[in-house]
Amino acid sequence: MSRQYLLAADVGGTKAALALALAVAGATARPEIVAQHVYACQEFDGLQPILADFLQQPVVAAHRGAIAAACFSVAGPVAANSATLTNLGWKISGNALAVELRLPEVRLMNDFSAAGRGIGRLAPGELETLQAGSPMAKAARLIIGAGTGLGVGLLTWQDDGYTVHPSEAGHADFAPVDELQDRLLAHLRRSFGRVSYERVVSGPGLMRIFSFLQETGAGIPSRQLQEASKQRADTAEVIAEFAMARLDPLAVRTLDLFVSIYGAFAGNLALTTLARGGVYVSGGIAPRIAPKLKDGAFLRAFVQKGRFSDLLAAMPVHVVMNPQVGLLGALFEAACMRE
């Protein structure tokens, strides 16, 4: 039997990761990636030109005729195999892409549905445990993740495995838990009117917290941070790095507040879903700030739910250290498509 290949993409608000993998036997075996590339979404006006560029790369082009299935994870709600990316505005049709790119089938799935598919295939070293808890077999699981946006997925046990349900809970109303967060909400209302959690718990949200604290007299950024911000495109990444290294007091306060809000949000959703099977913190930001997530502030906010604090303390909480978990999930979905 001739070799078959899988095409997958994980398309976020900032980057699109693409991979071509050799389909392997076995339901739980990882497809063997033979080519991959990450594209900056801002350099393109849609997904089709990104895919076209990837498909003409020499290694990919050599196997193009043997691509058996394609699955693309996209940051936005998917309906009828179509989606509009929340933070890019791109309109994507899986059926249209299959025709334009001469592929047998293209399936779209929400990015955190893909991430949820991927967590069950992670190696032990690709998870950092914040709270061991008391996991319950076959209980609901929750995956959340901040990056350019704020993604959420719910996993429930059906038959002999977990089924992933997409969610747009990141766009739920931001709920402050103390006076400082009250002032942050009032500050953000001047710009947005209604303020969702994604406006706060995301890369852009980290910058908004930084600006809020600066404007309210909590401090001024150091000259080193200002210079680094001028030299690099991702200011949120600079703030996080300076905070992690404790090189800038304002950056430290910013990340402290960000992590507390992140933990409270995760706790809210864990209560909503009764995620006794585990909470998985994924996305582009979490692996970069894992030591900060482990220092206790995240978990304090996570479990601080009054009469239900003991319930939250029993839920396992893990950080997903593999930033390509969504791409991995899309590859597994593609593998299932050919069965």
284 and 193 part of one domain: yes
The pLDDT value given to residue 339: 65
Residue 159 lies in a domain: no
**Percent over 90 (pLDDT), the chain:** 82
Q: Which pLDDT score is estimated for 27?
A: 55
Asked if residue 145 has pLDDT above 90, the reply is yes
Task: Looking at the structure, tell me whether residues 282 and 331 fall in a common domain.
Answer: no
Q: Is residue 138 part of a domain?
A: no
Whole-angstrom CA distances from 171 to 112, 127, 329 are: 14, 26, 23
- Exposed/middle/buried for residue 1 (C-beta within 10 Å: 0-12, 13-18, 19+): exposed
In order of 22, 81, 133, 239, 240, the CA distances from 245 in angstroms are 40, 44, 29, 10, 9
CB contact set of 110 (below 8 Å; sequence gap of 6+): 73, 74, 75, 76, 77, 78, 83, 151, 153, 166
**Residue 234: its pLDDT value, please?**
87
The answer on 297 and 202 residing in a single domain is: yes
**pLDDT single digits (tens) 53-111:** 999 999 999 999 899 999 999 988 999 999 999 888 899 999 999 999 999 899 999 99
pLDDT exceeds cutoff 60 at 1: no
CATH number at residue 266: 3.40.367.20
- Mean pLDDT value across residues 173-192: 97
Same domain? For 95 and 218 the reply is no
- Quote the mean pLDDT of the chain: 93
Domain membership flag for residue 100: yes
Q: For residues 155 and 112, is the Cβ–Cβ distance under 8 A?
A: no
Instruction: Encode pLDDT of 298-317 as tens digits.
Output: 999 999 999 999 999 999 99
Shared domain for 54 and 196, answered yes or no, is no
Do 69 and 207 belong together in one domain? Answer: no
What value does the mean pLDDT take over residues 152-173? Answer: 94
Mean pLDDT of 125-135: 95
- Reported as a pLDDT band with limits 50, 70 and 90, residue 146 is very high
One domain for residues 298 and 244 = yes
Domain-embedded: residue 32: yes
Look up residue 111 and give its two tokens.
Answer: 């990015």
- Regarding whether 300 and 332 lie in a shared domain, the answer is no
Q: Look at residue 134 and tell me if it is in a domain.
A: no
In a domain, 131, yes or no: no
CA distance 256 to 336: 41
pLDDT digits (tens, 9 = 90+) for 15-37: 999 999 998 776 567 788 999 99
CATH number of the domain enclosing 329: 3.30.420.40
Task: Please report the pLDDT score of residue 120 as a whole number.
Answer: 87
Identify whether residues 254 and 175 lie together within a single domain: yes
pLDDT computed for residue 132 by the predictor:
96
Number of domains in the chain: 2
Mean pLDDT value across residues 330-335: 92
Q: Is residue 294 part of a domain?
A: yes
- What is the token pair recorded at 269? 């959703």
Tens digits of per-residue pLDDT, 226-260?
A: 999 998 888 999 999 999 999 999 999 999 999 99
Q: Which band of pLDDT confidence, cut at 50, 70 and 90, is reported for residue 293?
A: very high
pLDDT given at position 208:
97
The secondary structure of the chain, three-state, reads CCCCEEEEEEECCCEEEEEEEECCCCCCCCCEEEEEEEEEHHHCCCHHHHHHHHHCCHHHHCCHHHEEEEEEEECCCEECCEEECCCCCCEEEHHHHHHHCCCCCEEEEEHHHHHHHHHCCCCHHHEEEEECCCCCCCCCEEEEEECCCEEEEEEEEECCEEEEEEECHHHCECCCCCHHHHHHHHHHHHHHCCCEHHHCCCHHHHHHHHHHHHHCCCCCCCHHHHHHHHHCCCHHHHHHHHHHCCCCHHHHHHHHHHHHHHHHHHHHHHHHHCCCCEEEEECCCHHHHHHHHCCCHHHHHHHCCHHHHHHHHCCCEEEECCCCHHHHHHHHHHHHHCC
Based on the fold, state whether residues 90 and 203 are members of the same structural domain: no
Strand 15-22 relative to strand 32-40, pairing: antiparallel
Find residue 7's DSSP bridge partners.
20, 70
* 313 contacts 106 by C-beta, under 8 angstroms: no
Query: Do 254 and 243 meet the contact criterion of CB atoms below 8 Å apart?
Result: yes
Whole-number pLDDT of residue 110:
93
Same domain for 254 and 212, yes or no, is yes
Q: Which domain holds residue 78?
A: 5-118+324-337
316, 328: one domain? no
In a domain, 141, yes or no: no
Mean pLDDT on 293-300? 95
